[in-house]
Structure 1
Amino acid sequence: MNNVETTKDWWKEEVIYQVYPKSFNDSNDDGIGDLQGIREKLPYLKDLGITTLWICPIFTSPMVDNGYDIADFEGIDPQFGTMADFDELLADANQLGIKILLDLVINHTSDEHQWFQEALKDKHSKYRDYYIFKEGKERPNNWRSIFGGSVWEKVPGEDCYYLHVFDKRQPDLNWENPELRQEIYAMINRWLDKGIAGFRIDSITFIKKDQDYASLPADGVDGLVSCKHKTRNRPGIEIFLNELKRETFEKYNCVTVGEAPGVPYDEFSQFIGEDGYFSMIFDFHYADIDVESGSDWFKRTNWTTKEFKELLINSQEALQAAGWGANFIENHDQPRALSKLVKEGFQTAEAAAGIGVMYFFLRGTPFIYQGQELGMVNAQREQISQFDDISSIDNYHRSIQEGFSPEEAMNFVNLRSRDNSRTPMPWNNQQFGGFSKVAPWLEMTEEYPRVHASENSVLDMYKQMIALRQHSAISPILKTGSIRFLTDLPDNVLGYARELENDTVYVLTNLSPEEEAVTLADEIGEIYLNTHAINEPAGKEFTLLPYQSVLFN
């Protein structure tokens, strides 16, 4: 592994930066980001202060779901480069003290994967049992896929269907097959032998399906029901996850970050406890506050700051009780946090820094998604044809099917689209933001970006945040200290203390567009960070400006 680690829990010390390779930096001017483009920007990442780089899928793929449909687990997709390019990136990152995480997608493959092609060719092939096929003239049940429509797709020329929890071109693997599982484990180990530091593990709570394959009452006008009730975090998944850990991760001093939606808080210890399946997991309870369901964007919520605060505190307390958290406010599946968490009219650089400080110093490993450190906002698109994301296109048509107007449907998609965070990274204010010299694969948020990396106060604040956590007198408290949430505060103010032995530092954030008066038990001592320089809190009683954060003792 890069920079050989001797401690078991080395990943608690890291600051992890997520790159969406298609949109990070285009080195060969074809409009698509690539591995050499990431390599060119390693000095930027080093200067930012991050220690680990998580790269979204770079594997051979037809890109139906932007690389989360893998046709070859050990091939590099030509649009990103070659394995030689990856090896150079890994070596250069190692030289700079930056570790590399890759995405591990093992719930499904692309329908172009050789296993699936063999399964289609010959129903008696062993590969037919690598996937989930059911004989019959009718679909086996009424489950709806995450991306809309039935989870069952007919096999051409046969009275038979195969299961896909996601898109029809992402057939699910049959984890009930031990031979398949061993193939997956061998592949994982070859990547770890290559020297990567670990994996972020995609959709891992979907690998176990209820074996009765029974229908459930419909929950939409399409007559279907979300497949989550029968395919996500189901009884028996623990057998697969323990075996996965035993056969792969446990043999290496690697880090594993599970994308684990659908796991109730009372089961967190199984996932991230002392003998948990993973090093840490993402919790989406507070991230998905704007919608009732992560896959039904037309079911919007009128959430309040108080509700967000309560969800965040509940999430943190559950993570702390069980193990270690992966703290985030943005990723490749989420809209931009500044657009989601901050009211219109207040979406400024200071507010971007304010919500950044709010989450960054929670107990756990902080994750930064590309462009978040610049204070990027959502894109506004006029037509559904401008979207690439299959989930956005599905939600647009489902919204109309559910009775909303095309204008309402467009609004839902603009608010929630995964394309919001997948727009190309703006490095400067030139055309296409310095991402490429040609029109990129997905329209920029702005073609001549006002928000970019060449001059940016939010970026400066993130550098300070990282330096404080990693290399300051209060680093031990911020890395390993316990967390205690403050209770005697206004509903709109989130406050917490990080404590280690006899040392304490505090974070206060005003999460609202109103000024908020705060009264503390003790006077503010030293202020380490203040996102709104025009207002310096002092004493026991002071006022926080909208979306202001302060870190102090």
Structure 2
Amino acid sequence: MNKAWWKESVVYQIYPRSFKDSNGDGIGDLGGIIEKLDYLKELGIDVIWLSPVYKSPNDDNGYDISDYQDIMTEFGTMEDFDKLLKKAHDKGIKIMMDLVVNHTSDEHQWFIESRKSIDNEYRDYYLWKKGVDGQPPNNWGSCFSGSAWKYDESTEMYFLHLFSQKQPDLNWENKKVRNEVYDMMKWWLDKGIDGFRMDVINLISKDQQFPDGPKGETSLYGDFGPYSVNGPRVHEFLNEMNRKVLSKYDIMTVGETPGVTTEEAMKYVGNDRNELNMVFQFEHMGLGDGPDGKWSNLSFDLNDLKRIMTKWQKGLENGGWNSLYWNNHDQPRVVSRFGNDKKYWKQSAKMLATCLHMMQGTPYIYQGEEIGMTNVAFESIEEYRDIETINAYNELVNIKGKDSAEMMAAIYGRGRDNARTPVQWDDSENAGFTTDTPWIKVNPNYRQINVKSQLHDQDSIFNYYKKLISIRKKNEIVVYGTYNLILEDHQEIYSYTRTLGDKKLLVICNFTENTPVFNLPEEIKYNSKEFIVGNYTTECAGSIESFELKPYEARVYLLHS
């Protein structure tokens, strides 16, 4: 058993803009995070993953960085950051920074120099190409709609941007670029941070032939995926990063890796690979995608979810490690997506937490998840702030003719701003997030759903998350036990076991408002059982051979053989 502190930790993601505003300008900041460290300590988390706080013009909410070694003015100063780091460490909480090095902002000094002339010393820090017959170098499409190439009149060439036009991609083929990145990482690590979450890190290596990508029937542009996702030199680059930087510190690393398979993931996280500790994969986040991707917003099938989660649990169990998450800053609220955010809001939020936190891997809690924050339905597209959502609306409705009401329904279901409404601290105006007008509207349900109402309610979602975290810390089986799916084809129940030595955890989750009967498979033998946790207050001491589950019920038993 390969033990490590980051395997035993629980991570809490903070999206600073929406967490807590300390100076009354409507925008969350570092001071607001400092204010709430005691709250996070109370919850029991070990690590804060801090979404980008670097200097940025904010085209993509901080993921467009203009200076890696300065703090965005709206968030505070480097002094404020140092204060946050010290206070967090004093409370036993580590800080993991967001590393965004596939691209920079077009306002970064490197790019300002790069676009000046083809002879500039920074020219090859980015990917510049000549067009073909007045068209971009290839047909690649941007993740944020439109072409992935932007024409720049000053040198009459195109630069690559897999995301926004204001996010030019760095040229990782250039050793100078890599060394600049490594030096910057060392600067932060020497400051005392505890690791990096690496944004779209599996996109940093591009096929240098830059061939056209395949086009789907409804696509205006080609997919860059085959030539940039898990590109030709990505493992070479990460191995170099590990050798020159990561291996020299006792830190936590997680790579965001869209489009990765379990086999490919093992190349990133395998014990013998010397690259990363774990990756974020998105296969379960793609459930319900259709012809318009996530904007089709179809229903999901529980057995598909079980199959995907099980594939990752089994695929990385020998020599790898999973990251466990339902939500992040790019995903809708899980209680609205996989649960029932109306009649069974509390029960389904707790059930989903149970299902995830009992699996093998490091759990990630996204701000507000621990109080059951839900999706939001703003009245018009003008009230949304997310560049991906706005661009998709314009392309699908205004260009392709998708029905506006249908698109808004998809945005309500899957849009990124669902995760970005301010944290609901109390039932005062603006949910206690700010004394000014918030940068994005607060979810109107804040008067019912907020931290203040849950802190001292022993039956609250907050206190249930606190209990799950505590159980994880006290029971090695929750961290290191082997996962096995049971009742594989059941349409309503997700149940699995975790085994370590002569102990077995039995996890039972009802994903519906129905009352299905759970029947214990014959192959599971035990001498004694102990009820560990459940989301209903009723006594669960009876037989576990066969019993009826309540709507969205979750139960966990410890079995002794």
Give the TM-score of the pair, scaled to structure 1. Answer: 0.95
Alignment of 1:481-500 (within 5 A): 481-487=481-487, 490-500=490-500
1:531 matched to 2:535? The reply is yes
Residue in structure 2 matching 1:125, options 90, 114, 120: 120
1:51 matched to 2:39? The reply is no
Work out the number of aligned pairs and report it: 543
Shift of 1:321: 3.6
2:128, 2:427 → 1: CA distance?
A: 51
Shift of 1:220: 5.3
1:96 matched to 2:100? The reply is no
Deviations 1:81-110 (A, max 9, x none): 000000111110111000000000000000
State the match for 1:418 in structure 2. 416
1:27, 1:223 → 2: CA distance?
A: 44
Shift of 1:347: 4.3
| Residue identity (%) | 38
Three-state SS of the structure 1 residue aligned to 2:555 is strand
1:377, 1:448 → 2: CA distance?
A: 10
CA separation of 1:248 and 1:327: change in aligned 2, threshold 3 A: same
Shift of 1:253: 1.2
* Partner amino acid, structure 1, of 2:409: N
Three-state SS of the structure 2 residue aligned to 1:122 is coil
State the match for 1:550 in structure 2. 555
State the match for 2:402 in structure 1. 404
Alignment of 1:21-36 (within 5 A): 21-36=16-31
1:541 matched to 2:546? The reply is yes
1:157, 1:489 → 2: CA distance?
A: 60
Q: Is the 8 A contact 1:346 1:513 kept in 2?
A: no
Q: Is the 8 A contact 2:344 2:552 kept in 1?
A: no
Residue in structure 2 matching 1:432, options 430, 433, 457: 430
State the match for 1:3 in structure 2. none
State the match for 1:467 in structure 2. 470
* Partner amino acid, structure 2, of 1:324: W
Deviations 1:316-357 (A, max 9, x none): 111224511110111000000011102464441111001110
* Partner amino acid, structure 1, of 2:554: S
Three-state SS of the structure 2 residue aligned to 1:110 is coil
Shift of 1:374: 0.4
State the match for 2:109 in structure 1. 114
Deviations 1:122-143 (A, max 9, x none): 3211111000001234311111
State the match for 1:4 in structure 2. none
State the match for 1:377 in structure 2. 374
- Structure 2 runs not aligned, ≥5 long: 455-459
1:527, 1:447 → 2: CA distance?
A: 34
Q: Is the 8 A contact 2:115 2:155 kept in 1?
A: no
* Partner amino acid, structure 1, of 2:504: T
Three-state SS of the structure 1 residue aligned to 2:443 is coil
* Partner amino acid, structure 2, of 1:120: R
State the match for 1:451 in structure 2. 449
Residue in structure 1 matching 2:12, options 17, 28, 47: 17
Give the TM-score of the pair, scaled to structure 2. Answer: 0.93
2:477, 2:150 → 1: CA distance?
A: 53
Deviations 1:340-392 (A, max 9, x none): 10246444111100111000110111110000000111000121111110111
Shift of 1:217: 4.2
Deviations 1:371-425 (A, max 9, x none): 0000111000121111110111122122223331111111111211111011100
1:29, 1:488 → 2: CA distance?
A: 51
Deviations 1:167-215 (A, max 9, x none): 0000000001011111110000111111011010000011011111122
2:403, 2:488 → 1: CA distance?
A: 44
Three-state SS of the structure 1 residue aligned to 2:254 is strand
Q: Is the 8 A contact 2:269 2:278 kept in 1?
A: yes
Q: Is the 8 A contact 2:287 2:300 kept in 1?
A: yes
Shift of 1:222: 5.8
- The two structures, once aligned, show a CA RMSD in angstroms of 1.8
* Partner amino acid, structure 1, of 2:15: Y
1:262, 1:153 → 2: CA distance?
A: 24
Residue in structure 1 matching 2:347, options 342, 350, 367: 350
Deviations 1:9-57 (A, max 9, x none): 2211111100000011111011001001100100000000001111100
Task: Using the TM superposition, name which of 526-535 and 19-28 deviates more.
Answer: 526-535
Task: Using the TM superposition, name which of 83-92 and 295-304 deviates more.
Answer: 295-304
Q: Is the 8 A contact 2:303 2:488 kept in 1?
A: no
* Partner amino acid, structure 2, of 1:397: N
* Partner amino acid, structure 1, of 2:254: V
2:224, 2:386 → 1: CA distance?
A: 20
* Partner amino acid, structure 2, of 1:545: K
Three-state SS of the structure 1 residue aligned to 2:365 is strand
Residue in structure 1 matching 2:270, options 273, 278, 284: 273
State the match for 1:442 in structure 2. 440
Alignment of 1:327-338 (within 5 A): 327-338=324-335
- Structure 1 runs not aligned, ≥5 long: 1-6
Alignment of 1:169-184 (within 5 A): 169-184=166-181
Residue in structure 2 matching 1:69, options 64, 68, 83: 64
State the match for 2:457 in structure 1. none
Q: Is the 8 A contact 1:60 1:75 kept in 2?
A: yes
1:529, 1:9 → 2: CA distance?
A: 25
Q: Is the 8 A contact 1:306 1:491 kept in 2?
A: yes
Three-state SS of the structure 2 residue aligned to 1:125 is coil
1:85, 1:316 → 2: CA distance?
A: 39
* Partner amino acid, structure 2, of 1:514: N
Alignment of 1:380-391 (within 5 A): 380-391=377-388
* Partner amino acid, structure 2, of 1:131: Y
CA separation of 1:414 and 1:314: change in aligned 2, threshold 3 A: same
State the match for 2:301 in structure 1. 304
Three-state SS of the structure 2 residue aligned to 1:79 is helix
1:238, 1:449 → 2: CA distance?
A: 48
1:323, 1:217 → 2: CA distance?
A: 32
Q: Is the 8 A contact 1:431 1:448 kept in 2?
A: no
* Partner amino acid, structure 1, of 2:428: Q
Deviations 1:226-261 (A, max 9, x none): 222322112222211211111111111111011011
Q: Is the 8 A contact 1:489 1:518 kept in 2?
A: no
CA separation of 1:301 and 1:43: change in aligned 2, threshold 3 A: same
Residue in structure 1 matching 2:154, options 153, 157, 167: 157
Q: Is the 8 A contact 2:295 2:414 kept in 1?
A: no
Q: Is the 8 A contact 1:197 1:254 kept in 2?
A: yes
